[in-house]
Amino acid sequence: MAATQTQEHLTVADLTPDFLAAPWSAEHMRKRWSVVAAVAAVASIAGFIMARHTGTFVAQQHFYRAYLVGFMFCLGLTLGSLALLMLAHVVGGKWQVVIRRILEASTRNLWLVALMFLGVIAGIKYLYPWAGAFPYDLGPHAAHAIQARQPFLSEKWFILRGVIYFVGWAIFALLLNQWSLRLDRPADSTESYDRLRLRFMRLGGGGLVFYSLSVSLAAIDWVMSLDAVWYSTIWGMIYMVGQVLLALGFTIVVLVMLSRTVPMKQILRVSELHDIGNLTLAFVMLFTYVSFSQFIIIWSGNLPEEIPWYLARVQNGWRPIISVLFVIHFALPFLLLLNRSLKRRGAQLALVAILIMVARYGDLFWQIVPNFKDASGLTGHFFMTWFDLAVPLAMAATWFAFFFAQLKKRPLVPAYHHLIPEILEKTHGAH
């Protein structure tokens, strides 16, 4: 479906709160995802009880590693949206006006992701070798590496750093959401809006700095430390770009869904959709660049403490996975997004966005699961349990349900944003 139609011309005066309210489809999606979340959660809980009943360490480990994949997926949706929101305030542009409220609704799910983090804490001894509970040998260099990284990698500091991360993210998300409400009513003067724009820009710039540092450390804490020995200096950048790419994919899907009905049907034009498609293409290329940079540096260095990480992910059943990820995470989105007409058709762009979201789940699975002995290509082989589907699905569906509940709480666009008159011009987006 194309984003441009011959709709009745709108003015700023037409953008009342009632007109800009989320359509019935938002409530429909909330109910649908709530059902999916309930069914998947029951299946996950039943599986967890069975795993606990067996009493085996590995059986419970299967649950928690699937849980970690789901947690990082939901974290990416939330923090990627926060990063995009801050970036939008810094660089401006009409493209960000039509997705701002979608991004804000995503950031307001941060409390839910913080609750999910409690499950990661509960599974520390099943996930992280430095917790000292693994019943199997971790390799010849693991003990020395764990000892050298103490006390940084300890349960107390792991939890404390997590609290600091979430508090910092919450402050930026809260301020951005509260200040945005000011754009739903007329300004007393043009000067007051100018001051607000400057505040947004300063907060966004400072927030991006905090986001870069905190996500880099969080990615090290929550994923890289799954391996007792391996390390990468590009790891934080990979997760930052991956989160933004995931959030972009989700935002496009929601935007296209909303564009089927009023009010977004009369507001969204092809020029903004095209810009968002171009931004997605840029992040697809950036993610591939940083991922390949990590690979080529480690592979060419061929150091014994680095190269096993990749060997564990290209052997014993894992090679087809990385091949598929290359196709759906880079090659196919890249080639499709080069097409100008595709980026101007909502339905086609949404299909590419869904493909990217699936690829992000696959990439997280590929990064996390081979860290464990039975699934590593070095000491085991590739396999998936039903935990790997049910648990992340339950968590993601819960996140989606709360997102649509949040989306209904505010108008779909900030009616008094300074770029709204340009977006509503009759000729805007016509070419």
Residue type, 99: I
Cα→Cα distances 268→13, 405, 422, Å: 17, 22, 12
Averaged over successive runs of 10 residues, the pLDDT of the chain (431 residues) comes to 52 88 94 98 94 87 97 98 97 94 98 98 95 81 86 92 98 97 81 86 97 97 94 96 98 97 92 96 98 95 91 95 96 97 96 98 97 92 94 98 97 92 71 42
State how far Cα 170 lies from the chain centre. Answer: 16
Determine the pLDDT at residue 220: 96
**End-to-end distance of the chain based on CA atoms, in angstroms?**
16
Query: Peptide bond before 17: cis, by omega within 30 degrees of 0?
Result: no
Tokens 């009943």 -> residue: 53
Per the structure block, which two tokens stand in for 196? Answer: 């607000």
Determine the pLDDT at residue 374: 92
Within 8 A by CB and 6+ apart from 364, the residues are 69, 72, 73, 76
Q: Which helix (H) or strand (E) holds 196?
A: helix 190-222
Residue type, 158: F
The answer to whether the beta carbons of residues 365 and 388 sit under 8 Å apart is yes
Determine the pLDDT at residue 431: 42
Residue type, 321: I
125/385 Cα distance (integer angstroms)? 20
Residue 339, domain extent: 12-423
* In a domain? residue 199: yes
248/276 Cα distance (integer angstroms)? 8
For the whole model, what pTM was predicted? Answer: 0.95
* In a domain? residue 305: yes
Within 8 A by CB and 6+ apart from 158, the residues are 121, 124, 128, 221
Per the structure block, which two tokens stand in for 27? Answer: 């409530």
* In a domain? residue 429: no
CB atoms within 10 A of CB 369: 26
Structurally, how many domains does the chain consist of?
Answer: 1
* In a domain? residue 106: yes
290/311 Cα distance (integer angstroms)? 19
Determine the pLDDT at residue 133: 80
* In a domain? residue 266: yes
375/102 Cα distance (integer angstroms)? 37
* In a domain? residue 2: no
Determine the pLDDT at residue 290: 97
